[in-house]
Structure 1
Amino acid sequence: MAVLVTGGAGFIGSHATVELLENDYEVVVVDNLSNSQLASIERIKEMTGKEFVFHQVDLLDYQALDDVFSQYDISAVMHFAGYKAVGQSVQMPLSYYNNNISGTLTLCEIMLKHKVEKLVFSSSATVYGQPERVPIEESFSLSATNPYGRTKLMIEEILRDLAVSNPSFRIAILRYFNPIGAHPSGKLGEDPRGVPNNLIPFITQVAIGKRQELQVFGGDYDTSDGTGVRDYIHVVDLVKGHIKALEYLDNHEGIETFNLGTGTGYSVLEILRSFNEVTGKKIPYRITDRRPGDIGVCYANPEKAKKLLGWQAEKSLKEMCRDSWNWQVLNPDGFH
């Protein structure tokens, strides 16, 4: 019995694949490699000393995905595949709706066909929109301030309807806050194509000399230093939460939602200071206009995951910065 990992060559999916293999799960990975590298698959095998199956498949290709389900004995799915850049989603909303929602619909249809009824879904804290207060709890009202967030919100609604229509389904929706860091080995990390959309890859690329300066989007938020505050979580902590969610589904039917965050918010300038301390480098930056769709403050109340999953984040902000920098130094051009 295998776990199918969609988007398993990407940043979070590759780390989840490592965690699954190290916990003795059989794994089948599908990824269209639109925002990931085949080299990550080889590195996972090298790191774990274990073989697993990889297919280059786009979730919009019904027949190709159906063939994968027909070929292997799949018992559960971890669903990471999807476009994920907030700013890009504002510029290209139709692409985001088509890729993220249509791809998930195809996946769910094929899961139904093959009676695969266990799913861990990669959602996002963006589904909370502009929260009335922090820390954010799972019971808060949902909305979204950008198309990326709306795709996650729509998929959550689709999954809730699916769970109602088919009570044998077991679904865990995991709302991520801001995954950063890299595998401590330095063999896996975030390797964005083109200009990074996320803060830490941009910082590390400036630090190593690939980019001149960091653009800080917005210096006039209602925060301690005017820059946006986020809950940053180490990617290794994050994927450990996926293993806990998969174990939870073994004993619980229906659908459940969990925040995966540390419960602490850090501003952009606080992140910069921590990164400067870890690396001994001073990162040049310039404050620019706010980015469309962004909010000021967002951090989690992770108590539900601690109580029901037995999970909590363990790694410190300095460890997150250290591992991100280690990945960049060892891989100045990413996987190339």
Structure 2
Amino acid sequence: MNILLTGGAGYIGSHTYVALLEAGYTPVILDNFSNSHPAVLGRLQRVTDRQVLCETGDVRDTAFVQDVLRKHSIQAVIHLAGDKAVGESVANPLKYYFNNLGGAISLMQAMQAVDCKVLVFSSSATVYGDPASVPIAEHFPRSHTNPYGHTKLVIEDMLAAQSAARPDWKVAVLRYFNPVGAHACGLIGEDPAGIPNNLMPYISRVALGQLPFLEVFGGDYPTPDGTGVRDYIHVCDLAEGHVAAVRAMLGGSSGMQVNLGTGRGYSVLEVVRAFEQASGRTVRHRIAPRRPGDVAQCYANPGLARQQLGWQARRTLEQMCADAWRWQSGNPNGYRDDA
């Protein structure tokens, strides 16, 4: 079965590509490489020993997406393409509404035109806003504290409306918590352009000596050590969650909204200490003011994913740090060394 991966050359997409192949599916990447590197395609070929199917273009180009869906006889789509940095979305909200909402609308229009009715959507725990309590379950009220989270919430609502209007559509909404780590082979991993927005690649670059120190945004949250608490999930566990969702949708499930997380929260300083142990390096850090749009604690109740998908996260924080360090230390310049 052929599965389209929008944004498939990115961090989560590349790991999902490998997991889909291992599960017997044929993934096809659609990417405009605005936030990824073409060199990932060669790395994926090395990891899988298979020629990579990739269509280069923008998901907002509806006619192009229609052509891709028809050309490859796509039976399901995993929609990963979009902008994803909370801080940037606060500073540049129009970019996020244009890219994220525009991309989702274009994709849904293309799918409807070619009668492709199975969609797995990459959502986010940011749709829960600042939760009243943790762990977070799927029935919790949804809200948002930043434009990025708002785009995810609006897309979820668009998908619900489409499913109500077209009951033959099968839609899985996967609410990610915080993906980290890398494939154990060390050939693919997280490679943000410029200064990283996410914690683990920033820590990795500090450990390598490429950045002088880690800024810890907020040291006065109501948490055990004052730093923000998040549910960090290994990217390979997350990729396997997508495979489980595709399998469920193609197997007859009518749709779902599930959390993909571990159910365990770690503070920023706990992650720093775990990374120091995994890498044998010191991670210099200092406390900085809170960032707009951040929340104190966010971690999942992952029980529904176990129930509906037969999936649960298996990899530990120690594995996440060891795999992230293997990737970063072996590829200090990311994919740019392959250019």
TM range (shorter): over 0.9
Partner of 1:110: 110
Partner of 1:135: 135
TM normalised by structure 1 equals 0.99
Q: Helix, strand or coil for the counterpart of 1:55?
A: strand
Partner of 1:164: 164
Distance 1:41 1:109 in 2: 28
Q: Helix, strand or coil for the counterpart of 1:172?
A: strand
Q: Which amino acid aligns with 1:295?
A: V
Contact in 1 for aligned 2:44/2:52 (Cα 8 Å): no
Partner of 1:300: 300
1:213-256: per-residue Cα shift (whole Å, max 9, x none)?
00000000000000000000000000101111111112334331
Distance 1:29 1:317 in 2: 29
Distance 1:176 1:193 in 2: 21
Alignment of 1:237-248 (within 5 A): 237-248=237-248
Shift of 1:41: 1.2
TM normalised by structure 2 equals 0.98
Q: Helix, strand or coil for the counterpart of 1:74?
A: coil
Q: Helix, strand or coil for the counterpart of 1:28?
A: strand
Task: Between 22-31 and 170-179, report the one with greater CA deviation.
Answer: 22-31
> Which blocks of at least 5 consecutive residues in structure 2 are unaligned?
none
Contact in 1 for aligned 2:241/2:260 (Cα 8 Å): yes
Contact in 2 for aligned 1:212/1:284 (Cα 8 Å): yes
Q: Helix, strand or coil for the counterpart of 2:335?
A: coil
Distance 2:134 2:298 in 1: 7
Distance 1:318 1:122 in 2: 25
Partner of 1:193: 193
Distance 1:89 1:278 in 2: 32
Q: Which amino acid aligns with 2:128?
A: Y
Shift of 1:278: 1.1
Q: Helix, strand or coil for the counterpart of 2:141?
A: coil
Distance 1:43 1:55 in 2: 17
Q: Helix, strand or coil for the counterpart of 2:75?
A: strand
Partner of 2:78: 78
Shift of 1:282: 1.3
Partner of 2:268: 268
Q: Helix, strand or coil for the counterpart of 1:156?
A: helix
* Structure 1 residue ranges, 4+ long, deviating more than 2 angstroms after superposition: 250-255
Partner of 1:291: 291
> Which blocks of at least 5 consecutive residues in structure 1 are unaligned?
none
Distance 1:53 1:35 in 2: 19
Alignment of 1:30-179 (within 5 A): 30-179=30-179
Alignment of 1:213-292 (within 5 A): 213-292=213-292
1:238-287: per-residue Cα shift (whole Å, max 9, x none)?
01011111111123343310100000000000001111111111111010
Q: Which amino acid aligns with 2:38?
A: L
Q: How many residue pairs align between the two structures?
A: 336
Partner of 2:209: 209
Q: Helix, strand or coil for the counterpart of 2:158?
A: helix
1:45-88: per-residue Cα shift (whole Å, max 9, x none)?
11111123101111112222222123120000011000000000
Shift of 1:27: 1.7
Task: Between 20-29 and 155-164, report the one with greater CA deviation.
Answer: 20-29
- The reply to whether residue 330 of structure 1 matches residue 322 of structure 2 is no
Contact in 2 for aligned 1:163/1:254 (Cα 8 Å): no
Q: Helix, strand or coil for the counterpart of 1:221?
A: coil
Contact in 2 for aligned 1:160/1:255 (Cα 8 Å): no
Contact in 2 for aligned 1:167/1:253 (Cα 8 Å): no
Contact in 1 for aligned 2:63/2:110 (Cα 8 Å): no
Give the fraction of aligned pairs with identical amino acids, expressed as a percent: 51
Distance 1:324 1:12 in 2: 13
Partner of 1:310: 310
Q: Helix, strand or coil for the counterpart of 1:18?
A: helix
Distance 1:191 1:49 in 2: 22
RMSD: 0.8
